[in-house]
Amino acid sequence: MAFVAVVIFIFECLHVTGLVKPSIWLGTSVMLVGVAIAARKIVKALPKYRMMKRGEEGERIVAQYIERDLIPQGYSVFHDIQLEKDGKPFNIDHLLVGPNGVFAVETKNYSKPSRGEARVTYDGRRLLWNGHQRRDEDKQARAIAAAAHEYIADLTGTSVMVRPVLCAIGWFAASTALYQHPVLLVMEKTLGSVILKVPPPSGWNESNQHMVARIISRAQTSQGN
């Protein structure tokens, strides 16, 4: 846009001075160059835009299940916590604080295949989406949980175990020895029931729960202001 504006300004100055006569072809050329530049940038940005929209949609879906299944059970929930590590911004989709402990929920809202089942499996080492590994989502979930642990430690001065949870939206999640794996793999519909069956970590009690939830709430409110 800046390029087109500068070119138009230059040629308008030349028209005023009489050095260049007005020409439909000149205007058309400038327009086509501007449209071509804009179109290239739009096409390049579309996949990222679609991914962001799917991510936002997934977070809203999970938030609805959290409010339905976990908040009535005494859980506090904090959505979209913005953090930074090594100069790179990232976010925790959902941070849950409740009677069973603290959980960092990472959502994945991938498109389902047009044919056949949508099934994601986890054996404690790899996540496979219909038999294919997309990214290291389990490592990402663990990294998010570790960042949440540091975040809470910085706020409270207390080391609190944060359990990583990966929520596969719209996919059938199958995990052998579910509670023994580093990451809890769940569907949005089973998120609440799985978390409520997790034994609380050693030393975790109602006093810890309310203290951590209160301090995070205060920090998020302050950040929002």
Of 200, 194, 135, 130, nearest to 167 (Cα)? 194
The residue ranking higher by pLDDT, 38 or 183, is 183
The residue ranking higher by pLDDT, 23 or 209, is 209
pLDDT tens, 66-119? 999 999 999 999 999 988 877 888 889 999 999 999 999 999 888 888 787 889
Q: With bands split at pLDDT 50, 70 and 90, how would you rate the model's confidence at 51?
A: low
Is the pLDDT assigned to residue 210 strictly greater than 80? yes
Predicted confidence at residue 52, as pLDDT, reads 67
Q: Check if the beta carbon of residue 167 is closer than 8 Å to that of residue 181.
A: no
- Whether residues 22 and 77 share a domain: the answer is no
- Percent of the chain exceeding pLDDT 70 equals 94
CA distances for 72 relative to 52, 54, 77, angstroms: 30, 27, 11
- Whether residues 21 and 66 share a domain: the answer is no
State the SS3 of the chain: CHHHHHHHHHHHHHHHHCCCCCCHHHHHHHHHHHHHHHHHHHHHHHHHHHHHHHHHHHHHHHHHHHHHHCHHHCCEEEEEEEEEECCEEEEEEEEEEECCEEEEEEEECCCCCCCCCCEEEECCCCEEECCECCCCHHHHHHHHHHHHHHHHHHHHCCCCCEEEEEEECCCEEEECCHHHCCCEEEECCCHHHHHHCCCCCCCCCHHHHHHHHHHHHHHHHHHHC
**Long-range pairs, 40-43, Cβ under 8 A, ≥24:** none
Locate 112 and state its tokens: 């389902």
Whether 52 is covered by a domain: the verdict is: no
For the entire predicted model, the pTM comes to 0.76
Whether 108 is covered by a domain: the verdict is: yes
Predicted confidence at residue 17, as pLDDT, reads 81
- Whether residues 111 and 172 share a domain: the answer is yes
* Number of domains the chain contains: 2
- Whether residues 85 and 195 share a domain: the answer is yes
Is the pLDDT assigned to residue 62 strictly greater than 60? yes
Cα separation, 185 vs 168, whole angstroms: 7
Based on the number of CB atoms within 10 Å of its own CB, is 82 exposed (0-12), middle (13-18) or buried (19 or more)? Answer: exposed
Q: Check if the beta carbon of residue 162 is closer than 8 Å to that of residue 182.
A: no
Predicted confidence at residue 84, as pLDDT, reads 84
Q: With bands split at pLDDT 50, 70 and 90, how would you rate the model's confidence at 3?
A: confident
Whether 160 is covered by a domain: the verdict is: yes
Q: What's the domain range around 73?
A: 61-224
Highest mean pLDDT among 43-52, 127-136, 179-188, 216-225: 179-188
- Whether residues 40 and 66 share a domain: the answer is no
- Whether residues 138 and 194 share a domain: the answer is yes
- Percent of the chain exceeding pLDDT 90 equals 44
Locate 19 and state its tokens: 């050095």
pLDDT tens, 6-49? 777 887 787 788 777 776 776 777 778 878 888 888 788 776 76
- Whether residues 157 and 100 share a domain: the answer is yes
Q: Render the burial of 106-143: b for 16+ CB within 10 Å, e for the rest.
A: bbbbbebeeeeebbbbbeeeebebeeeeeeebbebbbb
Locate 79 and state its tokens: 């959505």
- Whether residues 149 and 219 share a domain: the answer is yes
Whether 51 is covered by a domain: the verdict is: no
Predicted confidence at residue 144, as pLDDT, reads 93
